[in-house]
Structure 1
Amino acid sequence: MNTIKVTLIKSMTGRIPNHRLCVKGLGLRRIHHTVEVQDSPEIRGMINKVHYMLRVEN
């Protein structure tokens, strides 16, 4: 399967609890932390929900 690189670029402080859980579910822990996740509809949905805090690369 394809993978996507996701980087957290904004702080989670003061965010909606569901958005914080999406970031945690993606495996991101701190600002400028990058993870590679599988490209699936579920992951894409999580990324779309918190797109304003992330940088996404193919």
Structure 2
Amino acid sequence: MAKLKITQVKSGIGSTKRQKATLESLGLKKLNQTVVHEATPQIVGMANKLRHLLSIEEVK
């Protein structure tokens, strides 16, 4: 499977509790923090819900 490199580029301040919980689920706690996850449907769905806060790149 492909991997996704997910970086938080905007703050979660002002977001809903649900969006903040999704950020935490992805392992993102700080601005400009980067995590790498397998591109499972669950991770892709979470990233798509927060695409206005994140930068998403595919890693080979």
Q: TM-score range by the shorter chain?
A: over 0.9
Q: Which residue of 1 aligns with 2:44?
A: 44
1:34 paired with 2:47, answer no
Report the alpha carbon displacement of residue 57 of structure 1 after superposing the two structures with TM. 0.5
Task: Give percent identity, aligned residues only.
Answer: 33
Query: TM-score if structure 1 supplies the norm length?
Result: 0.94
Q: Give the CA RMSD over aligned residues.
A: 0.7
Runs of 4+ residues deviating >3 angstroms: none
The aligned length equals: 58
Query: TM-score if structure 2 supplies the norm length?
Result: 0.91
Long gaps (5+) in structure 1: none
Long gaps (5+) in structure 2: none
Bigger helix fraction:
1
